[in-house]
Structure 1
Amino acid sequence: MEFVAVAVAGLVGSFCSTLSPTTELAWVNRLCSRGDIASELGSFLSPNANIHFPRSEGFLESTNRWSTLGTPNISVVVEVANENDVAETIKYANTHSLPFLAVNGGHGAISSLEAVNNGIQIWLNQLNSISIAKDGSTATIGGGAPSKHITETLWAENKQTVTGICECTSLIGPGLGGGHGALQANYRLVADQFVSLDMVLANGTLITVDENSDLWWGMKGAGHNFGVVTSITSKICDVPHNGLWSYTNFIFTHDKVEVLYETINEMLLPDQPQDIISFSFFTNIPAIDPENSVVIFFILREGKEAVGSEYTDPFTNLAKWLRMEETSPPCQKEGNTQLRFPVDLQEFNPTAQHAAFDLFSKTANEAPALAASLFLLEGYSIQGVKVIPADSTAVPNRDANLLISSYLVYKPDGEGLDTKAWDLGENMRQILFKGSGQEHMYSYVNYAAGNEGPRSWYGYEPWRLEKLRALKEKYDPEHRFSFYAPFD
């Protein structure tokens, strides 16, 4: 690391020479006055690790986030190349009483992240290796590997595993919160694929966690509260049906909202076929209706060349693909605020659906800055999810049929627009929750806005939070991992 340390020291000098004397970042001032991060930390890092400082290209790339919501305040980025780099960075942060935050895809968007102040970001993007076991039953996947890289690597060997539907997110990030995906009907959640986790605890200790550890329960559903996962060994399986999927999509105007969701209830709920997935979202397409929002609805079916008229005819009588690829809008990091207000439902209340739709449409007309927003209604098959005993993981509410969430997108433009967006998202969520008649509001932790609270994220049974907090006191007694949906 001698060359790297010298190079980093030079970067520190160059960076510090550009700072204004009034700079208020205490950690940056300390860094510039001592210039010792290169020698103190750099000398312990591997040759391929890098340290990035503000205004450098690496810093800008690594701290560029999918959403400006809850943006953490980062003073320096350590781009790690192996698990030991993660451990040494955590030890350094602890020695200097600095917060740290591990980042892979950069898509975690929750208000609690803004509690990171003058922190060290641990960037996992180099940890993207994938190796398939000789028997073909598992794969070991690096903590920074994005879903598209995982899918393409496995498919090249006629293998697959459960990932989220968005290509640009990581596998581990969503998996630590449970992880819904298109294959869950047959193979369960992302977290249910875990065989073992290599991770670094808050004190810099490297451990491997598997079913023999008491931490195993908490890592599957609330894992972001316990450590930095550097790699996982995950179950994989052969790709069936040559990977064939079919889909049909529809666009409905505002006058069809209630009958659409009545039909979905009748045709697909509560026992949705295992090979069927349904999605819908409220959006704005002025070319179709310049005054009202519309609903895009589509059905996907695995293993068939066509969805089948038995499923499509009812919707045809009423009246692009998921847009989750790397080049699609949901994968871009363009300085937008992107808010989600999730709520789990068992079925649709058509009247409540129409009320939420009307509010969405009205607000989009009154506030054009929000016109690019969506309201997403995901209907995965859940047979595989339900077969896992509810008390066997930290994932709550496995019986939920529907994952609902606003997806409010806008360029930051002051508190007034922020307030309007938050009010819209929360009011739509409350309309649907109250219309459901459910006792408790569950909010999928990977979509959380931050105002829902631990019971909504991790479950209302008192023993769940008690068990999580006991694990926290054992494995992270200083509460160093307390930035993403904390329960402490």
Structure 2
Amino acid sequence: MCGSKAILLGITCVIRNAVAMTALQVAEGLQASLSSGSSIFLSSNVQYSEQITPRWDVYEPPTYQVAVKPALIEDVKAIVSIHIQYASTNKLPFLATGGGHGYTTTLGSLQNGLVLDMGNFKTMELNSTTNMLTIGGSIKSSDVTPMIQAAGKEFPVGQCTCVGLTGFTLGGGIGPYSSLYGPASDSVYEIEMVSGAGEILTVSKDQNPDLFWGMRGAGFNYGVVTSITYNVYDATNGGNAINADMTFTGAQNGTIWKIMESFVGKQPDQLSISAEINFSATSGIIILVNLLYAGPQEELDPLMQPFLDLQPSNLNISSITWHDIPSSFLYGASVQGCSVTGIEYIPYSVNLYQIDIDNLINAVNFMNTSMTLAPELQTATIALDMYAQGGFQRNTYTSSAFPYRDVVIFAQIDCFALDASATPALAQWGKEMRDILHQGSGKANLEVYVHFAHGDEGNAAWYTEHKLKQLKELKNKYDPNSLFSFYNPVLNTSSSSSIVG
């Protein structure tokens, strides 16, 4: 590894020539500053596509001239330090990526930049005695869940196995077992990172506690995370759950919403409920319902009976392991979604704080009418995830930057453009559907979980007005040059960025 003087010399060389440098010269200048285990690729190089994590979504994407795969945290520090020097001229904006799954449109404001690929940070260590899990910054949930399951432990991962666990956590991180444990960010014990000020930091409740608050819910605004240590938990129900998938017709939607509404304020912590609304060219509206219960089936049966009384056209009830939830949940839909990359996915979302039955019926009617008239819209779906609030309320509203502990349903409008010509219509439809659902949300202002956001909502919608003042103060302290401002950003008080916020 280069000594500190060599790093500074390399940085100085890059900065002094920033105005006139080509992408090749930038790459060469960076290489002189990094350890031998690091790699640099021009986007024109054939190895770029082989070595750099591909983006899952290509709708309004960022573009890059250069990719860097650092090997050590000191390499990350060197790269951030270079960009601190660039900040005044903004010659080469950059983004750190782990799983490559981020899809907000604010990422598209980064053009011709540098991607810092964290693919070399892939360590995993689980201590079953202390119930501590430490992972590197590029680990995905599918990498680590088999090890956790084998140790008789569990942890609130999301529904999609292809998502980078670090990025997932920095925005909160929600999934079926959030009903038990809250967002993944509540389970964070310690973070190792390089801040936007170029400092290597350990962040925990005892070290840099102000930043620890902000990293758990808005963490991608403050630096690059190289590792996270989590608390994990003894497996519930022997590490098994009951998964029930059901299929219903569109005509049954009002009754389905009424049943779901009956669980508001009464939902057991072991239970998560999800519904997915689809449109079939031959059958019209189809509604899939999933009940996932972290306990024995005899406890689930009475909770499930109102749905069974509707006589679903398809029913699949099975006992599964915690690790297998993504491959079983909603007929394995999340695994199917993770099996492809490079798609145009146009996301919209809204938090629902109540179940307004008439509003949801109106949304289904709008979906049925619009998709019947415009077949290009039929690839869009609506996902409604209803997690028990017991897990979220294990910690207080003020305990971290994660703001949404009282949401009844996290509603996602998932628009998939299989043909680029359908993209404008799907984007417009998704926005219209979001507006409809917002009318029944129970809140006057739009609020949305940051990882589900489209990117046009603004930072008050992502983080709430109540938390923005403290988040901006942290931005001024830990990322004063706003280097980390391309993913649904918190903008510091002096920023003149044009990014929505």
- TM-score in same-fold range (> 0.5): yes
Choose which of 279, 304, 315 in structure 2 pairs with 1:312.
304
Check whether the contact 2:455–2:488 (CA below 8 A) recurs between aligned residues. yes
2:376 aligns with 369
Q: How does 1:130-145 map to 2 (within 5 A)?
A: 130-133=124-127, 135-145=129-139
- Rounded to whole Å, the distance in 1 between the matches of 2:65 and 2:300 is 54
Separation of aligned partners in 2, 1:374 and 1:157 = 37
Instruction: Give the number of equivalent residue pairs.
Output: 455
Q: Describe the SS at the equivalent of 1:271.
A: coil
Could you tell me which residue of structure 1 aligns to residue 200 of structure 2? 206
Q: Distance in 1 between matches of 2:415 and 2:33?
A: 43
C-alpha distance 102-475 of structure 1, shift in aligned 2 (>3 A): same
1:252 aligns with 2:248: yes
Instruction: State whether structure 2 residue 62 is matched by structure 1 residue 72.
Output: yes
Task: Note closer, same or farther for the CA distance 1:187–1:411 as it changes in structure 2 (3 Å cut).
Answer: same
Equivalent residue, structure 2, for 1:278: 273
The alpha-carbon distance between structure 1 residues 326 and 132, as it changes in their structure 2 partners (threshold 3 A), is farther
SS at match of 2:252: helix
**Partner of 2:319 in structure 1?**
none
Structure 2 length-normalised TM: 0.85
Q: Distance in 2 between matches of 1:324 and 1:149?
A: 21
1:356 partner SS: helix
Pairwise CA distance, 1:230? 0.7
Partner of 2:218: 222
On the 8 A contact 1:270/1:346 being kept in 2, the answer is: no
**Distance in 2 (alpha carbons) for counterparts of 1:435 and 1:401:** 12
Per the normalisation by structure 1, the TM-score is 0.87
| Secondary structure of 1:436 counterpart | coil
- Residues 272-294 of structure 1 deviation map (CA, whole Å, 9 limit, x = unaligned): 111111110111344xxx15121
**CA 1:171–1:29: 2 relative to 1, 3 Å:** same
SS in 2 for 1:365: helix
Letter of the 1:42 counterpart = Q
Q: How does 1:233-382 map to 2 (within 5 A)?
A: 233-266=229-262, 268-286=263-281, 290-305=282-297, 308-319=300-311, 321-322=328-329, 328-382=335-389
- Residue 87 of structure 1 aligns with which residue? 77
Q: CA 1:58/1:159 → structure 2, altered by over 3 Å: closer, same or farther? A: farther
The AA in structure 2 aligned to 1:84 is E
Q: Is the 8 A contact 1:336 1:412 kept in 2?
A: no
Cα separation, partners in 2 of 1:128 and 1:122, compared to 1, 3 Å: same
Q: Name the CA distance, whole Å, in 1 between partners of 2:385 and 2:342.
A: 26
8 A Cα contact 2:380 2:426, kept in partner: no
| 3-state secondary structure, aligned to 1:391 | helix
Shift of 1:412: 5.1
Aligned equivalent of 1:195, options 189, 204, 213: 189
Corresponding letter in the other structure for 2:55? R
CA distance in 2, matches of 1:218, 1:296: 36
Q: Equivalents in 2 of 1:38, 1:115: separation in Å?
A: 22
| Paired amino acid for 2:427 | W
Query: Which amino acid is 2:383 matched to?
Result: L
Runs of at least 4 residues of structure 1 off by over 4 A?
323-327
**Superposition map of 1:403-422 within 5 A:** 403-411=410-418, 413-414=420-421, 417-422=422-427
Please state whether the residue corresponding to 1:248 is helix, strand or coil: strand
Work out whether residues 271 and 291 of structure 2, in 8 Å CA contact, stay in contact via their aligned partners in 1.
yes
Query: For the structure 1 residues 134 and 240, does the alpha-carbon distance in structure 2 shift closer, same or farther, using more than 3 Å as the test?
Result: closer
2:441 to 436, 443, 468: 436
Q: 1:46 to 1:155 in 2, by over 3 A?
A: farther
Deviations 1:59-94 (A, max 9, x none): 225263111223011111111222122122222334
Matched, 1:52 2:41: yes
Match of 2:31 in 1: 42
- Three-state SS of the structure 1 residue aligned to 2:193 is strand
Q: Structure 1: any 5+ residue segments left out of the alignment?
A: 3-26
Deviation per CA, 1:17-76, whole angstroms, max 9, x where unpaired?
Answer: xxxxxxxxxx999335xx434542213323332112224344225263111223011111
SS of the aligned residue for 1:75 comes to strand
Partner amino acid, structure 2, of 1:311: L
State the identity %: 28
Preserved CA contact (<8 Å) 1:244 1:305: no
Q: Residues 363 and 208 of structure 1: is their aligned pair in 2 closer, same or farther, counting only changes over 3 Å?
A: same
Aligned counterparts of 1:56 and 1:361: Cα–Cα separation in 2: 46
In structure 2, what is the Cα distance between the partners aligned to 1:295 and 1:306?
25
Shift of 1:381: 1.5
Report what 1:110 is aligned to: 104
Matched with 2:399 is 392
Counterpart of 1:203, as a letter, is A
Post-superposition Cα deviations, 1:367-405, rounded to whole Å, max 9, x if no partner, equal 433323221000112202113111121111311121111
Distance, in Å, in 2 between the alignment partners of 1:105 and 1:370 is 28
Indicate the RMSD between aligned Cα atoms, in angstroms.
2.4
Matched, 1:472 2:475: yes
Contact in 2 for aligned 1:247/1:300 (Cα 8 Å): yes
Give the counterpart letter for 1:180 in structure 2. Answer: I
- CA distance in 2 between partners of 1:251 and 1:333 (Å): 25
The 5 A counterparts of 1:2-13 are none
Amino acid corresponding to residue 422 of structure 1 in structure 2: A
Q: Secondary structure at the match of 2:272?
A: strand
What corresponds to 1:6 in structure 2?
none
Deviation, structure 1 residue 346? 2.6
Distance 1:140 1:324, change over 3 A: farther
Shift of 1:156: 2.4
Give the equivalent residue in structure 2 for 1:122.
116
